[in-house]
Structure 1
Amino acid sequence: MTDVTVSHDDADRFATVTIDRPDAGNAMSPAVIADLGELIEATAADDAVRSIVVTGADGTFSAGADVDVFAARADDPDAVIDYLDSFSELYARMEGVSVPIIGRVNGPAYGGGYELAMACDVRIASTDAELCPAELRMGIVPPFERLAMELGEGPARELCFTGGVLEAEAVADTGLFSRVVAPDRLDDAVRDIASRIAARSPNAVAQTKRAMIRHRADELARGQAYRHALDEQCVRHPDFAESVAAFREGRDPDYE
């Protein structure tokens, strides 16, 4: 059984890519990251598909990075960096496909899951949804770039410095989510957006996505490159190993 599935809605011409690891909080293992990238690209290449919905199974969007992978690589900083880079590569692949990607944020989106939601072109959230740049809790630098652009520098700084949780309902009147709706209305809201995209010129939609991605590409690239350099330092610092160990053991970290 695969941990990433694809289903198609022929009537409204969209496909749904679902992380299906509910017992692991839909955490993004290396295999999940690879499958997401491959399936999103393959699905986008289908002329019958006008948009792609990304979501998680059973009320959780994604818990983000698989902490067991961090733990297994804690003594190999280069392997940790490779794992972190794979997240950025996935989000670049999402931006590279021609069809819009709709984030169906149906619950908690932590760490890499938070950034997965932020990498979607459109985000529709349930009132149960929450975002958390949890990388700080693992002793590394949270991906802050898209959050700062979409929500604003002030709130983004607070969240990223604290590893705090942002409830979707609390930011319903900002531009972070296109819509924040009750859980029982989430699928209808997603379908409404997908059907309206399907009614437009696929060429014009593709070129609009290209223009929007390019509009902020340089700023994102600068921030990501600098963050990568800082993560190189973080994963070699004792705080990283202590953060991972404390998280797995369910205790407060003891930083020296």
Structure 2
Amino acid sequence: MANVIVSHDSTDRYATVTIDRPDAGNAMSPAVIDDLGEQIETVAADDSVRSIVVTGSGRTFSAGADVDAFAARADDPDAVIEYLESFSELYAIIESASIPVIGRVNGPAYGGGYELAMACDVRIASTDATLCPAEIRMGLVPPFERLVLELGDGIARELCYTGGVLEAEAVAETDLFSRVVAPDRLDAAVRDVAGRIAARSPNAVAQTKRAMVRHRADAIARASTYRRALDEQCVRHPDFAESVAAFREGRDPVYE
């Protein structure tokens, strides 16, 4: 069974790429990450598609990294780093796509799922949606770069230090989401934005995306490079193994 499915809306000329692991909270295993990247690249190369919608099946956007994948690599820090790097590579694919990528944030977006939403060009959220930089809960440095740029330094610090949960409805008036709507209006809002993108010059939209991504690329690259270096230290620290074990065992971690 495919972990990622693609559907097309021929009227408004967009494709929807859906993580289809509802029983696992749409967690992003290495296979899911690879498949997402391949599907997004394939769809972006299709001239009949003017935008891409990324979402999760059921009531969850994505729970983020697959904890079993972390656990299987817990004794091999290099393998953990490779897994973490694959997330960054996926986000780079989204940003380098020549057409806009719309995040349909239908529910919880945690860890890698939160950053997947943040990497999208446009985010449209249900009032059921929540964001959480959950990496800190796993003994890692949360990706904070896009959150700081979109929401501001103060709130981002609190969320990243605590692994707190941010409700979409509470930040509806900020720049984090372009729209926050009731769950039964989410698909209509996505379709409206995708349809209006399809009505514009494909060339102008592509060049606009290129300019807007470039506008903040240097700031994101500098911070993320340093963060990834710190993650290399984190995965070799006992706190990381304890965090993963505690999560899998359903208990509070005990740090020395």
The Cα offsets for residues 146-190 of structure 1, whole Å up to 9 and x where unpaired, read as: 000000000000000000000000000000000000000000000
Q: Which residue of 2 aligns with 1:235?
A: 235
Q: Which residue of 2 aligns with 1:172?
A: 172
> Structure 2 CA distance, aligned partners of 1:42 and 1:197?
19
Q: Which residue of 2 aligns with 1:27?
A: 27
Secondary structure in structure 1 of the residue aligned to 2:143? coil
Query: Which amino acid letter does the alignment assign opposite residue 85 of structure 1?
Result: E
Task: State yes or no: 1:193 paired with 2:188.
Answer: no
Q: Which residue of 1 aligns with 2:96?
A: 96
The Cα offsets for residues 37-75 of structure 1, whole Å up to 9 and x where unpaired, read as: 000010010000000000000010000000000001001
> Structure 2 CA distance, aligned partners of 1:37 and 1:72?
22
What do you get for the CA RMSD once the two structures are aligned?
0.3
Query: Which amino acid letter does the alignment assign opposite residue 182 of structure 2?
Result: A
Task: State yes or no: 1:64 paired with 2:64.
Answer: yes
Runs of 4 or more, structure 1, over 3 Å off, are none
Give the length in aligned residue pairs.
256
Q: Which residue of 2 aligns with 1:105?
A: 105
Task: State yes or no: 1:247 paired with 2:247.
Answer: yes
Q: Which residue of 2 aligns with 1:224?
A: 224
| Cα distance, 1:196 vs structure 2 | 0.2
| Cα distance, 1:191 vs structure 2 | 0.2
Q: Which residue of 1 aligns with 2:145?
A: 145
Secondary structure in structure 2 of the residue aligned to 1:61? coil
Task: State yes or no: 1:119 paired with 2:119.
Answer: yes
Q: Which residue of 2 aligns with 1:50?
A: 50
Secondary structure in structure 2 of the residue aligned to 1:254? coil
What TM-score do the two structures reach when normalised by structure 2? 1.00
> Structure 1 CA distance, aligned partners of 2:193 and 2:30?
30
Task: State yes or no: 1:2 paired with 2:2.
Answer: yes
Q: Which residue of 1 aligns with 2:81?
A: 81
Secondary structure in structure 1 of the residue aligned to 2:228? helix
Q: Which residue of 2 aligns with 1:40?
A: 40
- Give identity over the alignment, percent: 83
| Cα distance, 1:209 vs structure 2 | 0.2
**Long gaps (5+) in structure 2:** none
What TM-score do the two structures reach when normalised by structure 1? 1.00
Q: Which residue of 2 aligns with 1:184?
A: 184
> Structure 2 CA distance, aligned partners of 1:59 and 1:209?
29
| Cα distance, 1:96 vs structure 2 | 0.6
Q: Which residue of 2 aligns with 1:209?
A: 209
> Structure 2 CA distance, aligned partners of 1:64 and 1:24?
10
> Structure 1 CA distance, aligned partners of 2:26 and 2:111?
12
Secondary structure in structure 1 of the residue aligned to 2:12? coil
**Long gaps (5+) in structure 1:** none
